[in-house]
Structure 1
Amino acid sequence: MSEVILARTQFATTTLFHFIFVPLSIGLAFIVAVMQTLYLVKKKDVYKKMAKFWGTFFLINFAVGVVTGIIQEFQFGMNWSSYSRFVGDVFGAPLAIEALLAFFMESTFIGLWIFGWDRLPKKLHLACIWLVSIGTMLSALWIMAANSFMQNPVGYAIKNGRAEMNDFAGLLMNQKLLVAFPHIVFGSLATGAFFVVGVSAWNLIKKKDIGFFKRSITISLIIGLVSGLGIAFSGHSQAQYLVRVQPMKMAAAEGLWHDSGDPAPWTVVANIDTKNKESTGTIEIPYLLSYLSYGKFSGDVKGMNTLQKEYVKAYGEGNYIPPVKTTFWSFRIMAVTGGILILFSLIGLYLIWKKKIENSTRFLKWLFPIMFLPTIGNSFGWIMSEMGRQPWVVNGLMKTSAGVSPNVTSAELLFSIIAFSLVYSLLAAAMVYLFIRVIKQGPQAKPMQEVAATDPFNTRRVG
């Protein structure tokens, strides 16, 4: 197997594994902040218990996510040194800001939040968890600023064969960032919300702490519905962006080999024939692709064959068509998961309104596995975004094959893939074990007394 394929495989596996934790951290931090706000406003201890209980999951997830994220940084220098040299002056700035500003902000206020219960004034303590939540979102903003440059390079100039940043504001106003960041945030809120929904549903089935988990599931279903709708609308904005800036990715996501004609139908399913460059057995919804692309029920969308000819003229000979099947089906899996989340949020809120949720065992049994759907949707959305950009590592500037480290061998890459996979498997097992332990203990478990950082040996329990 070639070095390019192995390097891409390693980056894909580590990124997807890391991306399990990032949205969950963003979502849980926000939900915990909402619950603690309710505690301050309503002055009911149940909301304090909710903030502490769900905050425990956030802390576990945050710790594991930090470890998995470190490897991401190292890979740029290890496996993608040619890419790093070419784009480091642009790519490095948002990554550095993310580490120095957002991550340190999160870490500092997480510490204050953990040790500040009953020590800090309530409003100040609440501000700490809100600053943690804002920090997680800022972290995503800077990472997406770097990634958006790869999708749509702006704010740079080529000097001495390298991309150098000459417009920092332009980097932050990148069209890709403006449409992608809200999509990431809404997807993250859905991830956190449906994690709470799933755990709450399991406890309601077991008839454990019904009042506690009814409140938890109500809050999270409201956030889940709002975030599900946000995913849909921000996804629509991304589709309009793709038609303008990355038309090849849009055409691949639709399995569109030939120009669609006006108006353009949206393909629900199709048999993608990459050998003959055609899609057969299609089921289509008339006018819908035109609406998704232009916000109106008219308009032509270019196909991959037309775009391939244009790209050859612009960039020289080569194959500029991305992996069509992967891009096509990833988009549909992502879209279906978003629709399911909206549907189950509406049903759950209706049952809560009718005061039937705790007795709706059949529905609750569905909610437990559905807690994993946002992670599936996030993962396939990321796959669609990154695979649809191929063959570029920086769209229009550098091909993926040119970005790989020249001195890394296939054997070294294969060894590191196996090593990282083993480490990640151990981390996943540890996290699952800790999550299950916290779920079984429940919110009534006796918490460890909050101790000062200077008193690490005080482990007395309080009732």
Structure 2
Amino acid sequence: MDALDLARWQFGITTVYHFLFVPLSIGLSLLVAILQTAWARTGNTVYLRATKFWGKLFLINFAMGVVTGIVQEFQFGMNWSAYSRYVGDIFGAPLAMEALVAFFLESTFLGLWIFGWDRLPKAVHLACIWTVAVGSAVSAFFILAANAWMQNPRGFRFNPAADRAELSSFTEVLTNKVLLATVPHTLFACWMTAGVLVFAVAAWHLARRSHLDVMLPSLRLGLVTTLIAAFGILISGDLLGKVMTETQPMKMAAAEALYESAQPAPFSLFTIGTLSGTEPVITLDVPRVLSFVATGSLDGRVEGINDLQREYVQKYGPGDYRPYIPIAYWGFRLMMGFGFLAMIVAVVLLWLTRKGRLPDRPWLWRIAVLSVVLPFLANSFGWIFTEMARQPWVVFGLLRTADGVSPAVGIGAVITSLVVFTVVYGVLAVVEAGLMIKYAKAGPPAEADVVPAEPGEEGGTLSFAY
């Protein structure tokens, strides 16, 4: 391995690890806001207890997400200085907006929400958690704006004297068609992640017949959220697939291991290819489906890997413009497969627990609890596919990954930071898992412990100061 390979490994490890926390924070903030709204409207303390229980898990996950996210900024200057210099004028704008507008908004109102239970009027306190939920979505929008520009560069001009891209239209960056397709797809994935976590934890308690008053409505909320999000993922994913075909046809061809252009194009259910990923050996196809997914027409033409390789050589010069096909192909299918599994579990569990029923089937509750890993796996493979199927580009059509690495950083420095970050992240993973499992098993607080004092009342306690 050289410094480039190690830098890519390091960025991949830290980014995928960080993205374990982001979807859950975004999704849980919305569900906690919904539960607190239900309490504010009905006065039913069951919803208050649920709010504080899921709110505690949300806070643990949010704190860990902030810690792991800080490292991402360091890596741009450490291992990817050539990339940072080339795109910093553009890439830095949405990141700055995310920090100054979204994250500060989110963290400020989260602080008010944590310490304002006994001090703010109920409506104002409720507005705080809704602001957090909105702020987390806005934060995702700006982060995805930066990533979408890497997938489909728009709103810039190239300065040959400085040998860098410079921002010409921030509006074009924020209205990038890839961004507009990616944002809903990502947010629905976040809400599915939270929904699955909620019904998985609730299932653990219901299997033991504990905290039924809180866990039954939590189970239903998690299941309904999962199914709504799943349908949103399907619809937004269909749109994103068509945008991907238009802007990065090689990525779509790699996702299907389509080596030769076809009209109509089949959808590959299963493919075994050579280890190099240069040609298929065994394939199982469904006719015309890929044409519809990629173009919206059953007779649409989809460009193949080999034709696109020849086209890119003519357009960009000599080189291999094919990503590693096995990872692109299986990453795409594992993303979809784990998402479909989560949806199936939610449908089955929703049907079997209709009208408040609690089936005496240990295997059902065990499957529900184990399902907690499904959206995290789907999210991880989705990001792996998104980034690795863009290779060899770090900015599509403009800057190759090999040209973005820091020229003065040697193998020793990258190995050191890779080992340190991986070990630290491993420790943080153990801490995060331990805290989440501990407080998830503890269950919701008792009613006597959650009824807040009136604003200004003497003797009030900081009921959320754990």
TM-score between both structures, scaled by the size of structure 1 = 0.95
Counterpart of 2:382 in structure 1 is: 381
Alignment of 1:110-259 (within 5 A): 110-159=110-159, 160-259=162-261
Counterpart of 1:292 in structure 2 is: 293
Counterpart of 2:443 in structure 1 is: 442
Q: Does the C-alpha gap of structure 1 residues 461 and 35 become closer, same or farther in structure 2, counting only changes over 3 Å?
A: closer
Q: Tell whether the 8 Å contact from 1:232 to 1:338 is kept in structure 2 after alignment.
A: no
**Distance (Å, rounded) in 2 between the aligned partners of 1:435 and 1:276:** 40
**Distance (Å, rounded) in 2 between the aligned partners of 1:320 and 1:271:** 21
Counterpart of 1:323 in structure 2 is: 324
Q: What is the deviation of 1:50?
A: 0.5
Q: What is the deviation of 1:448?
A: 9.2
Alignment of 1:74-113 (within 5 A): 74-113=74-113
Q: Does the C-alpha gap of structure 1 residues 117 and 409 become closer, same or farther in structure 2, counting only changes over 3 Å?
A: same
Counterpart of 1:35 in structure 2 is: 35
Q: What is the deviation of 1:357?
A: 3.5
Q: Percent identity?
A: 45
In structure 2, the residue corresponding to 1:299 is in which secondary structure? coil
Q: Which moved more, 1:76-85 or 1:230-239?
A: 230-239
**Distance (Å, rounded) in 2 between the aligned partners of 1:100 and 1:218:** 36
**Distance (Å, rounded) in 2 between the aligned partners of 1:276 and 1:344:** 34
- Give the letter for the 2:353 counterpart: I
Q: In the alignment, does 2:416 pair up with 1:415?
A: yes
Q: Does the C-alpha gap of structure 1 residues 191 and 171 become closer, same or farther in structure 2, counting only changes over 3 Å?
A: same
Alignment deviations for residues 175-201 of structure 1 (CA, whole Å, 9 cap, x no partner): 110111111101100111111111111
Tell me which of the two structures has the higher relative contact order, counting C-alpha pairs closer than 8 angstroms and 6 or more residues apart.
2
Q: Does the C-alpha gap of structure 1 residues 347 and 460 become closer, same or farther in structure 2, counting only changes over 3 Å?
A: closer
**Distance (Å, rounded) in 2 between the aligned partners of 1:139 and 1:204:** 35
Q: What is the deviation of 1:355?
A: 3.2
Counterpart of 1:45 in structure 2 is: 45
In structure 1, the residue corresponding to 2:300 is in which secondary structure? coil
Q: Does the C-alpha gap of structure 1 residues 5 and 149 become closer, same or farther in structure 2, counting only changes over 3 Å?
A: same
Q: How many residues align?
A: 456
Q: Tell whether the 8 Å contact from 1:114 to 1:450 is kept in structure 2 after alignment.
A: no
In structure 1, the residue corresponding to 2:270 is in which secondary structure? strand
Q: What is the deviation of 1:399?
A: 0.3
Q: Does the C-alpha gap of structure 1 residues 181 and 12 become closer, same or farther in structure 2, counting only changes over 3 Å?
A: same
Gaps of 5+ in 1: 453-457
In structure 2, the residue corresponding to 1:319 is in which secondary structure? coil
Alignment deviations for residues 348-392 of structure 1 (CA, whole Å, 9 cap, x no partner): 221232432353432111011111100000000000000010000
Aligned alpha-carbon RMSD (Å): 1.9
Alignment deviations for residues 255-276 of structure 1 (CA, whole Å, 9 cap, x no partner): 011112x221100110122548
Q: Which moved more, 1:351-360 or 1:77-86?
A: 351-360
- Give the letter for the 2:257 counterpart: G
Counterpart of 1:455 in structure 2 is: none
In structure 2, the residue corresponding to 1:164 is in which secondary structure? strand
Counterpart of 1:392 in structure 2 is: 393
Q: Tell whether the 8 Å contact from 1:210 to 1:358 is kept in structure 2 after alignment.
A: no
Q: Tell whether the 8 Å contact from 1:187 to 1:227 is kept in structure 2 after alignment.
A: yes
Q: What is the deviation of 1:440?
A: 2.8
- Give the letter for the 1:65 counterpart: G
In structure 1, the residue corresponding to 2:119 is in which secondary structure? coil
Q: Which moved more, 1:87-96 or 1:197-206?
A: 197-206
Q: Tell whether the 8 Å contact from 1:249 to 1:389 is kept in structure 2 after alignment.
A: yes
Q: What is the deviation of 1:296?
A: 2.1
Alignment deviations for residues 328-356 of structure 1 (CA, whole Å, 9 cap, x no partner): 00000011112112212221221232432
**Distance (Å, rounded) in 1 between the aligned partners of 2:463 and 2:231:** 46
Gaps of 5+ in 2: 456-460
- Give the letter for the 1:32 counterpart: V
Alignment deviations for residues 412-448 of structure 1 (CA, whole Å, 9 cap, x no partner): 1111111011111111111112112212321136869
Counterpart of 1:367 in structure 2 is: 368
Alignment deviations for residues 45-72 of structure 1 (CA, whole Å, 9 cap, x no partner): 0001101100000100011110100000
- Give the letter for the 1:259 counterpart: S
Q: Does the C-alpha gap of structure 1 residues 437 and 450 become closer, same or farther in structure 2, counting only changes over 3 Å?
A: farther
Alignment of 1:63-82 (within 5 A): 63-82=63-82
Alignment deviations for residues 262-296 of structure 1 (CA, whole Å, 9 cap, x no partner): 22110011012254832122111111101101222
Q: Does the C-alpha gap of structure 1 residues 36 and 448 become closer, same or farther in structure 2, counting only changes over 3 Å?
A: closer
Off by >6 Å, runs of 4+ in structure 1: 448-452, 458-462
Q: Tell whether the 8 Å contact from 2:216 to 2:356 is kept in structure 1 after alignment.
A: no
Q: Tell whether the 8 Å contact from 1:268 to 1:283 is kept in structure 2 after alignment.
A: yes
In structure 2, the residue corresponding to 1:259 is in which secondary structure? coil
